[in-house]
Structures are given as structure tokens and as C-alpha cells.
Amino acid sequence: MKEFKILAVIIALVGITYYGIEPYAHSVMHPEVAAADFTFKDVKNVDTSLAGNAENGKVLVEANCIACHAIESASHPQMMPNADAAAAYGVTPPDLSHAGRIYDKNYLANFIFDPVSAMHLQHKFGPDTGKTFPMPSYNWMTPQEIMDVVAYLQSIAPKVAEGKEGHKVTFEAACGRCHSMKYAGIEATTPTENLKTYMGATPPDLSQHIKSRGEHYLHSFINDPQVLLHGTAMPRVGLTEEAQEEVITYMEEIGDSKKAERETVGLWVMLYSVVFALFAFLWKRKIWEEVH
Amino acid sequence: MMDESRRGFIGKAFGAVAAVGGIASLIAMKKTWDPLPSVMSAGFTTVDVSGLEANKLEVVVWRGKPVFILKYTEDMKPTDGRSVKVGDHYFSVMIGLCTHLGCIPGYEKDTKIFKCACHGGEYSADGKQTFGPPPRPLDIPPFKIDGVTLVLGEEGPEYKAMTAKA
Amino acid sequence: MAEFKKANSMGEWFDQRLGVVNFSKVMMTEYWIPKEINFLWAMGMILAVMFKLLLISGIFLLMYYKPDVNMAFDSVNYTIMQDVAYGWLFRHIHAVGASVIFLIIYIHMFTGIYYGSYKKGREMIWISGMLLFMLFSAEGFSGYMLPWGQMSYWAAYVITEIFGGIPVIGGDLVVWIRGNFYVADATLTRFFMLHVLLIPLAILGAIAFHFYALRFPHVNNESGEFFDYEEEAEKFKAGDKKGAKVIPFWPVFLSKDVFVLGVFLIFFFYLVFFHYGFAMDPINFDKADGLKTPAHIYPEWYFLWSYEVLRGWFFEIAGVSGKDLGLMAFGFANAIFLVMPWLDRSPMVKPANQRPYFKYWFWLMIADLMVLTEFGKLPPTGPNAWVGFGASLTFLVLFIALPFITKAEAKKVGGK
């Protein structure tokens, strides 16, 4: 009984200390922020309830977008190599093949209307910064026209494979223009030198971000970087919840590839430890019978 | 008796010889731990500031850190305790790491401010924080003025006078 | 030397050459431990096992680790964690083990203080134990640098910077320790050497010394009672196993140790596989960058209390800067436990709770260390800074007052 009392005291003291230096200290250093919003309801320049016409959207896209953007899935190849594109625009313009799938509809429509306000980058490309975002605002289009473009982009977005391969496609489309992922052999499509000028600093390699930032942080950070890192040069990219899940899953598949093995082996080792302790107890009892 | 003391003397002398060897080896070991000559010489960065262009940021690396050197134009006013006079011109000499989280701010020629891209902190040309999260002005590295050259890493009288004021 | 007879068995063959029979008596079956003990007496054995786990996992990590600022991070986080079969397991055991061993060291150490196991002949046990604590601290600190993450870098930067506060030689000393003006490749390689060779060698020596120091004064027991070991051992050997106050190390003492170890391992492996964040800080999965300071810099949890003693002094008193005061307090805090046997001036060897004054001192000291540990991690702003100062001051006062408290206690008890 006395031993249990001692154990209880130790567990209490260690527990209090642990609570203080781990959960509590971390909650002080990283306060909770507003929940991620995957409807992007703060941007409402375009009435997204309108039904888009993909046929008309195709015409609009071919007239307005493909001068800068490749759309491989609709057989519009890249106009120039990445290095030249980055030199011309500051950053390589995205291929729009996956845009209709990975970007939220509301976000995409409002992005076309005014990219800077959708990305929450007014501090970087606002009127008094002297800098302009490489893509112009298409605020002269009617809401119907914008929704037609969105409908077209949604119609041409190819389905991706299940599992790691598909996650990789989503990751590259969503993050790969600025971020490298060394452990997956992925290099940002924009050359480092251009990125440095365009972003102010080299965007980090994402190989270990699943560990250094954690799923919880990434969940709200990717949704809107300004919430957790006010003033950052990273734009809000407007991923749908599914696309963001795929990105985070991919980061885990690359950055913590042994997770499944760890959890299985962990269970077996703990089970073994219980058996070990049990036998140790029986042995101890037998030996101590003689001396008590 | 004679023998005893002689043995004592020999013992002590041998002890002394052994101690000399031991101390000599310790000195050698201490020196092995010393920073390499190449590291030591890299610890002092000499910059000739006579050729610098006004209002154009010069970045030199000193002890693994970027150091900003900015020559003032005629109409930029020097700040007491922050601006450095070399020859006839005033300069800002500062460690180019944002005092918020250590990003490297960029210099904007037109507005004459340093702007940190990471979290939007801003500094005036003399390195005082003017906007955003930075808690204090950009740090000033120890320097010595030697004619038209700046020696970073040595504490000259001008540097001492500046730190005494701060 | 007597002539060798032809041995009749393998055991005899070895006994002739190595004296194994006598040796195993001295080390195992007739090494006497008091019977009146609780599970806290098993902490020493747990520490020995933990050290072995660290040694073995360290050997495997050493096979793939590259001590070079350009390669270290990837060799750990890619090669070891994701490429080498079970490399992740060895790293988790090593990282979590290094953290948990300090928990056990602290329990072991405070058990010693609680039961007064550092006086009346047991001074050298205590001192050799504190020596081990210091060596393990150095081992933990040097090892934390090796993954070359952001926290590795900046903790190393901040801690080595502390030496800069030493008068006159401070500045040069910092450069000498680092081998450069900042934490650089030279720093990594020399700390690597310390971590994998010099300090482990010293630890092995200190462990042997610690065990040896136990031999003469014998292990303390739960009530602090002194008895004649020879006499009790004779009783045991004569067959009065129940009446004897001693038990042999093997198998009786060890059987209890192994059971406690078994329970501990369940807890330990849970941490290794499922709850390792406290020992493998997320920030350390960002590669070291000397040009970018993390938002919060803090040492590993086991250094937090002394780090807070250092940080608690943030303002000038009587012309001495806060930095210097902190450094002095830090030096005091790290040295003071070593002289514990001489601070406790009461000759009583009893559990703290049976000592009229010491019990208050003991629990206050534990509470103060907990406060220091907690506030050592929190950002030192606003009221936190004052709590830190208060706790740091309390720590100093507690240890300065200890001789007076125990002297008064001795008087009170003696007068009874």
C-alpha cells in the first residue's frame, strides 16, 4: 500500500510538471486561432450561385487565359520553359489543368475577379506598395462569365489516382511552384533566385513540415496563412478541404513514411512489455516468499 | 640519511619532469581546440567604403551574419548614436537580421526603408524600427574605422562611444 | 603460484583462471542489500538499463549519422528515420531515452535527499552520483546538437553564449568552445566527439566509481536504520532468511528491480512509439539556420529549472547587471547540490517526513523546482518574469538557509 502511495505522489508531481511544460506552455506559445474556413465566405465579389456554362467558359479561357497559363489537360502546352516564365512573371504561372478540382469554387471565382484580395496579399500588392500582382483582375467580366470560366475549368480537371500518386499530383499543383520537397525529389518549378526576389525569402522545403508544423497547424495555415503568420508573403491558395487533405496526407507520406510501421511495432512491443512485467512479477513473488 | 634525501630529490625531480610533459601536452590539446586560423581571419571583415554608392545597400558577411552598409545621400540626416562617419560621409552599419525573427530585410531605395518580407516589419534607413513586430532597432556590430575602411569585429573608439550612449 | 590441477568441469576451469566463484559471491550472491526498501530503490537499476539502451541505440545511429553541417540534418531525418530498417526505432529510443533518463535521475536524486542517503559515510556515493548527473547533462546537451535542427542550433547558441558572461575571458572562451565565432561546423564536429566518445567514457568510469562507492557504507534503507551488515548476512546465510535485515543482490534484490523495470518499460515504450513530442521538439525538424531565430528558444525540459534560475535575474541590483546576477545564480544552482552532505547539518538519517524542519524544506524545494521548470519554458514576459525571479530567489534562499534549518532541527531533536 505504501508503495502505491509513493507512486501516486510521483505520478502527481510528474504529471503536474508535464502539464505545465507541454500542453500548457504550448497553448501559451501557440494560441488557438479561428477555425479554417473552406467556403472562403469573406470574398463575395461574384455571385457564385449562378450556374456556369462550360461551352462559353471554353471560349473565354481561350481568349483570356492561355497567353500565360498552360492547360495540359485541354492540350494547351506551356508557352515557355519554367526559367523564362519565372523571369517574365516573377513566378511560374500555374498550369490550370487541376484548378477546377483543387480550388474552391467560390475562391476561384473571386480570385479571377480580384486575385490579390482573394489571396489576402493586400499588404504585398496593395495600391500603396508600388507592386502589382502578375495576373490582372478580371473584374470587367460579368459574374456569369466568371462562373462560365469556373465551370469550364471544373469540366476539364482530370481525375487523379487514389493514394500516394494522386496526392503527389495535387501537392505539385497546389504547392510545387514555390515549395520544394527534397525527400520526394520534387523541386519548385520557379528557380530559387526568382523566388527569393518574388517572395522576399526562399519558401521552405516541405519535406519535414508534417513534423515541424504538425497536422493541426497545417490545417489552418494552408487554409489562410495570414491567420497564423500575419504579414507572410505566402498567399491564401484557396484549396478545397479535400485537396488540402490530400496535400497534408502527401506531406505525411513523405515526411513520416514509417508512421504505420511505428504504430504496429509499438503495439507489439508494449504487449511484450506487459508480458515481461507479468513474468517478472511472478518471479519476484516466488523469490520474495522466502524472505518475507 | 643521505640516501633517503637523495631518493627524495630524484623523486621530486622526476615528478617535475613528468609535470612539464603533462602541462606541455595540455597546452597542445588546448590549441587543438582553438578556432582554426582561417576562422580567426574570417572573424574580421574589412570593407573599403570609399567606393560605395549612396543609397545603395552593400551587404557583407561577417561571422556568418549579413551586415548592411548603407551610404547616406546628401539629404539624409545622420542619427546620433546610430550613424557612422567615415571620411566625409555618413553610413549605417548594422547587422542585417530582423530583430523580430531573424529574417533578412530588404532595402527599398525609393522610400529609403528596410522592409522585412517575413512579417512586415519596417526600419528607417538608420535601422530604427518604424512599423510591425520588431522589438528593437537593428543591432550594430563592433567596428573600427581605419581611414576609409571599416573593420568589422574590432571595437574602435567610435563604436565604444556609440554603445556608451545606448 | 600453486600448480594447476586438471579441471573437472568448465566452471572449475574458469574458476582456476578467473576466480569466478569468489567473484560472483562478491558481486552477486553475497553482495548485501537491506530488505526494508521500496520500489524507489530500483531506480539505479533502471538507470543502468536506460544507459545500456542509449548506448546500443547510439551505436546504430552512429553507423549512419554524418557529423557535417550540410549532411547532419538529412542523415538523421531522411537516412535514419526513413531509409534504414528500424532506424526510426533507434532514434526514437535514443531521443526519448535521453529525456526519460533525466526523469529517473531526478527521482533517484530526490529519493536520496528524501531518505538522507548522502550523509554519515555515504558522502562519496552522493558526490559520484552528482558527478554522473553533470556528465549526463553534458552528454544530453552535446547530443541535442547533433540532429542539427533549429532547436539544436539555437539552444547550443544560447547556452554557449552563457559562458560569455564570465569576466575577462568570457568572450574568448565562447569562441574557443565553439571553435568559431558562431555555432558552426567546427562546433558540431567537436560536440560530436564529446558525445560519442569522451563523455561516454567518463560516464562509464563514473558509473563504476558510483557502484564502488556503495560498497563500504552500504545502501541506505527505508527507515534510515544502521545495523551490522556482517551479523545480518551471517543470519541470512545460516538460513534465517525471514529474520535477516539483508537480502543478497542476486537473486532477491534483482528480482524486485526487474519487476519494477518491467512496469517502467511499459511506460517507456508507450512514450517511444506514441508520445515522443516532448523529447523530439517539432521545431527541431526545421534545419538549423543561423540567420533565422525561432520564435521561442528553450532548452530540453531537464535543464529548464537551472535555465530559469539564470533568466530570473533580469534587472540590475546595486550596479550589477541582471545578466551577471543570473550567471552567478546559475553557477550557484549547478554547484550547490554537490555539497548537499555538508549543508545538511543534522546527523539524523531518516525519511524527510519524520524530520520536524527538513520536511518543509524538502517539499518547498520540490515545489520551487517545479515552478522554475514550468516558467523556464514560458516566455519571460510580464508577470512571468517576476514569478521567475521569485522562484529563482527562493531557490537561493532555500539552500543558504538549509544549514541553519538543519542545525536548529538537530538541536530540537537532541533536546528531546
Digit-coded pLDDT (tens) for A109-126: 999 999 999 999 988 887
Rounded to whole angstroms, the Cα distance separating C232 from C318 reads 60
Partner residue facing C293 (CB), from B66, B101, B153: B101
- Report residue A145 as a C-alpha cell: 462569365
Please give the residue of chain C at the shortest CA–CA distance from A279. Answer: C259
The helix (H) or strand (E) run that includes residue B145 is strand B143-146
Decide if pLDDT at C134 tops 60.
Answer: yes
Mean pLDDT of C67-81: 97
* B vs C: CB pairs below 8 A: 47
| The most confident of A17-26, A128-137, B103-112, C293-302, by mean pLDDT | A17-26
Q: Which residues pair with B89 in a beta bridge?
A: B86
Quick one: pLDDT band at residue C25, thresholds 50, 70, 90?
A: very high
Question: Does a structural domain hold residue A164?
Answer: yes
CA distance C323 to chain A (A): 24
Cell, residue A14: 510528474
- Residue A18 corresponds to which cell in the numbers above? 508535464
B108 beta partners: B113
Distance of CA A277 to the CA centre of its chain: 44
Averaged over A61-68, what is the pLDDT? 94
Instruction: For chain C, list the contacting chains (3+ Cβ pairs, <8 Å).
Output: A, B
Residue A136 banded pLDDT, cuts 50, 70, 90? very high
Instruction: Suggest the residue from B59, B118, B122 to mutate for an interface test with chain A (most A CBs closer than 10 A).
Output: B118
Determine the distance in angstroms separating the CA of A42 from the nearest CA of chain C, rounded to an integer.
29
* Interface contact B43-C181, CB threshold 8 A: yes
User: What are the residue boundaries of the structural domains of chain B, listed by start?
Assistant: 2-34, 42-165
Task: Identify from B33, B44, B138 which residue to disrupt to test chain C contact, counting C C-beta atoms within 10 A and taking the largest count.
Answer: B33
- How far A58 CA sits from the closest chain B CA (Å)? 38
User: Which of B27, B31, B39, B99 to substitute to test the interface with C, most C CBs within 10 Å?
Assistant: B39
Segments of chain B scoring below 70 in pLDDT: 1-3, 101, 118-119, 165-166
Q: At CA C185, angle to CA C184 and CA C190, rounded to 5?
A: 105
CB A97 within 8 A of CB A157: yes
Q: What is the mean pLDDT of residues A229-240?
A: 91
pLDDT at C415: 53
8 Å CB contact of A270 and C241: no
Nearest in space to C265 (alpha carbons), one of B2, A280, A167 = A280
* Chain A neighbors of B98, CB-CB under 8 A: none
Q: Give, as one character, the DSSP assignment of residue C228.
A: -
- In this prediction, residue B118 carries a pLDDT of 67
Minimum distance, in Å, between the CA of residue A165 and any CA atom of chain B: 33
| Average pLDDT of chain C to the nearest whole number | 94
CB within 8 A of C157, min separation 6: which ones?
Answer: C182, C183, C290
Residue A150 lies inside a defined structural domain of this protein: yes
Q: Are residues A1 and A105 in the same domain?
A: no
Residue of A nearest to B105 (CA): A200
- Are C127 and C338 in contact, with CB atoms under 8 Å apart? yes
Judged by CB atoms closer than 8 Å, whether chains meet at B110 and A130 is answered as: yes
SS3 C166: coil
pLDDT of amino acid C320 = 84
User: Nearest residue on chain A to B110, judged by CA atoms?
Assistant: A130
Please give the angle made by the CA atoms of A196, A199 and A201, to the nearest 5 degrees: 50
Q: To the nearest whole angstrom, how far is the Cα of C262 from the nearest Cα of chain A?
A: 4
Question: Which three-class secondary structure state does DSSP give residue A11?
Answer: helix
Q: How confident is the model at residue A140 (pLDDT cuts 50, 70, 90)?
A: very high
Subunits touching A (CB < 8 Å, at least 3 pairs)?
B, C
Residue A81 lies in a domain: yes
Q: List the 6-65 stretch of B: residues with Cβ below 8 A of C.
A: 33-36, 39, 43, 63-65
A58/A181 same-domain check: yes
Q: How high is the pLDDT of residue C292? A: 79
Q: What is the 3-state secondary structure (H, E, C) of C313-330?
A: CCCCECCECHHHHHHHHH
**Residue B118 with chain A: CB contacts under 8 Å:** 200-201, 231-233
Q: Say whether C381 sits in a helix, a strand or coil.
A: coil
Calculate the CA C107 to chain-centre distance: 9
How much is the pLDDT for C264?
98
CB A152 within 8 A of CB A61: yes
Mean pLDDT of C148-152: 95
Same domain for A26 and A39: no
Which of B110, B119, B132 is nearest residue A232 as measured by Cβ atoms? B119
pLDDT of B36 reads 93
Angle at B108 between CA B107 and CA B109, to 5 degrees: 110
**Mean pLDDT on A142-158:** 96
Contact B65, B152 (CB under 8 A): no
Whether A121 and A159 share a structural domain: yes
Do A134 and A63 belong together in one domain? yes
Q: Which of C12, C150, C10, C126 is nearest to C77 (CA)?
A: C150
Q: Enter the C-alpha cell of residue A28.
A: 501559451
Q: What three-state secondary structure class fits A103?
A: strand
**pLDDT of res. C2:** 64
Which cell numbers in the block locate residue C268?
Answer: 517507456
Q: What gap in Å lies between CA C55 and CA C60, rounded to an integer?
A: 9
Task: DSSP letter for C76, please.
Answer: I
A63 close to B (CB below 8 A): no
Contact indicator for A145, A129 with CB cutoff of 8 Å: no
Interface of A with C in 106-135 (CB under 8 A): none
Q: Specify the DSSP class assigned to residue A50.
A: S
**Cβ separation of A230 and B103 shorter than 8 Å?**
no
Q: Between A201 and B126, whose confidence is greater?
A: B126
Is the predicted pLDDT of residue C318 greater than 90, yes or no? no
Express as a percent the part of chain C with pLDDT over 90: 85
pLDDT in tens, C321-331: 787 899 999 99
Domain shared by A217 and A143, yes or no? yes
Same domain, A131 and A217: yes
Question: Which one is predicted more confidently, B97 or C390?
Answer: C390
Q: Is A21 touching C (CB cutoff 8 A)?
A: yes
* Chain B touched by C193 (CB under 8 Å): no
Q: Does B102 touch chain A (CB under 8 A)?
A: no
Give the residue extent of every domain in chain C: 31-297, 300-416
The pLDDT tens digits for C258-316 are 999 999 999 999 999 999 999 999 999 999 988 777 878 899 999 999 999 998 998 88
Q: What is the CATH number of domain C31-297?
A: 1.20.810.10
Q: What pLDDT is recorded for position C187?
A: 96
Range name among A88-97, B128-137, C1-10 with the lowest pLDDT average: C1-10
**Any idea what DSSP says for residue B48?**
E
Indicate if the pLDDT at residue C396 is higher than 60: yes
Q: Spell out which residues of chain C touch residue A278, defining contact as CB-CB under 8 Å.
A: 262
Residues C77-116: b if buried by 16+ CB within 10 A, e if exposed: bbbbbbebeebbbbbbbbbbbbbbbbbbbbbbbbbbbbbb
Run of H or E including B130 = strand B129-131
pLDDT at C1 over 90: no
pTM listed for this prediction: 0.91
Residue A262 included in any domain: no
- B11 to chain C, minimum CA–CA distance in Å? 29
Task: Answer yes or no: is pLDDT of C353 > 80.
Answer: yes
The residue among B67, B97, A202, B122 whose CA lies nearest residue C290 is B97
- Provide the CATH number for the domain formed by B42-165 in this structure: 2.102.10.10
A145 versus A201: which is more confidently predicted?
A145
A216 with A178, same domain?
Answer: yes
- Is the Cβ–Cβ distance between A111 and A235 less than 8 Å? no
Least trusted range by pLDDT, from A218-227, A256-265, B14-23, B100-109: B100-109
Any C CB within 8 A of B147 CB: no
CA–CA separation, A267 and A289 (whole Å):
33
> What nine digits make up the cell of C69?
553541417
Q: Is residue A5 part of a domain?
A: yes
Full domain range(s) for residue A279: 268-292
Find the CB nearest A230 among B103, B117, B119: B119
The residue behind cell 486561432 is A33
Tens of pLDDT along C204-230?
999 999 999 999 999 999 999 999 999
- Number of structural domains chain A divides into: 3
Ordered alpha helix ranges (H), C65-169: 72-74, 87-114, 123-145, 150-162
Distance, in Å, from the CA atom of C141 to the CA atom of C195, rounded to the nearest integer, reads: 9
CA distances from A53 to A9, A87, A96, A100, A152 (A): 70, 35, 18, 14, 7
Which residues are registered as beta bridge partners of B94? B68
ipTM over 0.90: yes
CB spacing of B36 vs C184 below 8 angstroms: no
- Helix pair C87-114, C358-377: axis angle to 10 deg: 150
The 3-class secondary structure across B86-116, one letter per residue, is: ECCEEEEEEECCCCCCCCCCEEECCCCEEEC
User: Is the distance from CB of C21 to CB of C15 less than 8 angstroms?
Assistant: yes
Task: Give the separation between CA B61 and CA B44, rounded to whole angstroms.
Answer: 10
Between CA C202 and CA C208, with CA C203 as vertex, the angle to 5 degrees is 100
Q: So what's the pLDDT on residue B2?
A: 57
Q: Give CA C162 to chain center in angstroms.
A: 21
Under a CB-based contact definition with an 8 Å cutoff, are residues A60 and A49 in contact? Answer: no
Give strand pairing partners of A291: none
* Cβ distance of C286 and A208 shorter than 8 Å: yes
Q: Is residue A8 part of a domain?
A: yes
- DSSP category for residue A239: B
CA separation for the pair C218, C41 (Å, rounded): 13
Same domain, A186 and A230: yes
The answer to whether residue A3 neighbours chain C at the CB level (below 8 Å) is yes
Give the separation between CA B70 and CA B57, rounded to whole angstroms.
Answer: 5
Higher pLDDT among residues C375 and B8, named by residue:
C375
